[in-house]
Amino acid sequence: MLNRTLSSLVTERNSRAELLIDLGIDFIKDGNLTLLEVAEQLQIEPNELVEKIAKQDVIHTSPKDTDWNKVTLRELIRHIVTKYHVPLRKALPELTELAQNASKIYGDDHPELIEVEKIFGAFRFTVEAHLLSEEKILFKTIEHIESGNVNWRSDRSSNDEIKIRIREHDNSLDDFKMIRKITNNYQVPENTGETYRKWMEALKELETNLYLHMHLENNILFPRASQLAIEQAKSASAH
């Protein structure tokens, strides 16, 4: 396991994502690093890290997840939209209301909630535009490439489109790293109540889903699409 990449480990079992996030391991940016390399970077005993993952696997005994490297890009896109885009778009207004209620009830004693509400508000504004742009532009282009209807060369414009999405992903994950820091890893103070607890639980769940969502795009969809573009460019130049 130590020679496996973070990306492959999470692709195999999504249930490992929450553990890695809690350990401060970013399997999006560092998806190509091996578990051993990450352990060395974080100065964690490698075998201890393997043991933690093994325990997580025991707790979550569901079958291995679909290997999204082996399905069509169209199928992968449909999964991303159905599993992550649609639920996220639906949840954002509800989460905004929860953020506002938590700040209103507990903000005087816990001003960090007011700061979290501001960060979340900015996150919502950018992510809604991001989802729409991905679906209307990038995802459609990738589907057309795969079907052979568009010859998307691996040129500056195509690469820039992916780079923009990755940068937006980084910004969103940075928002949640800041939220996690402000809330002390989503801790619920003793002098609070149900609304505070629900808000922390909602944020933690959303963070995990964001990582899984962006893992599929950054580590699987985008590299596969880029590789397809390169192969098409080579084929076109050969003719």
Per-residue pLDDT reduced to its tens digit, 67-121? 899 999 999 999 999 999 999 999 999 999 999 999 999 999 999 999 999 999 9
So what's the pLDDT on residue 135? 95
Mean pLDDT of the chain: 91
- Give domain status of residue 200, yes or no: yes
What is the DSSP secondary-structure string of 113-167? HHHHHHHHHHHHHHHHHHHHHIIIIIHHHHHHHHHTS----SSHHHHHHHHHHHH
Statement to judge: residues 52 and 109 lie in one domain: no
Statement to judge: residues 205 and 111 lie in one domain: yes
Statement to judge: residues 54 and 107 lie in one domain: no
Which residues, at least 6 apart from 17, have a Cβ–Cβ distance to it below 8 Å?
10, 27, 208, 211, 212, 215
Residue 239 predicted with pLDDT over 90: no
Q: CA–CA separation, 103 vs 236, rounded Å?
A: 57
Statement to judge: residues 160 and 184 lie in one domain: yes
Question: Residue 108 CB: number of other CB atoms within 10 A?
Answer: 10
Parent domain of 169: 73-238
Q: CA–CA separation, 74 vs 78, rounded Å?
A: 6
So what's the pLDDT on residue 193? 93
Q: CA–CA separation, 237 vs 166, rounded Å?
A: 28
So what's the pLDDT on residue 61? 76
Tell me the helices (H) and strands (E) count for the chain, helix number first: 11, 0
Statement to judge: residues 217 and 113 lie in one domain: yes
So what's the pLDDT on residue 152? 54
More confident residue, 41 or 181: 181
SS3 28: coil
Statement to judge: residues 177 and 233 lie in one domain: yes
So what's the pLDDT on residue 157? 58
CB 214, CB 197: distance < 8 Å? no
So what's the pLDDT on residue 8? 93
- Give domain status of residue 65, yes or no: no
Statement to judge: residues 15 and 41 lie in one domain: yes
pTM: 0.91
Statement to judge: residues 36 and 149 lie in one domain: no
